[in-house]
Amino acid sequence: MQEILDLNNLNIGKANPHDGTRGFWSIIPADGKILLHDQVNNKVYELSMTEITPNEFINNGGDVNLNKGNS
């Protein structure tokens, strides 16, 4: 059975604190990728992922922006 994580703030008493919007998204694991389904607009997006080693993560101070300064 495939697990799906729903992120939904449509029916709660407050909107997103960052930009004041509301939405309903589903995170869907797929074969070698992660999909995001915008349930409000019925659009699907594929997340682009790059594999890193634990050492790369640790050596960058745990900073998830591993390309910082390499532009």
Residue-wise pLDDT tens digits, 14-33: 787 888 888 999 999 988 88
Tell me which of 13 and 37 has the higher pLDDT.
37
The model's pTM is 0.62
Average pLDDT rounded to a whole number, residues 30-57: 89
pLDDT at residue 38, as a whole number: 93
From start to end of the chain, where are the E strands?
5-8, 24-30, 33-38, 43-47
pLDDT at residue 9, as a whole number: 86
Q: List, in sequence order, every residue forming a beta bridge with 35; answer none if it has no partner.
A: 28, 46
- Delimit the domains of the chain by residue range: 5-59
Q: How confident is the model at residue 2 (pLDDT cuts 50, 70, 90)?
A: low
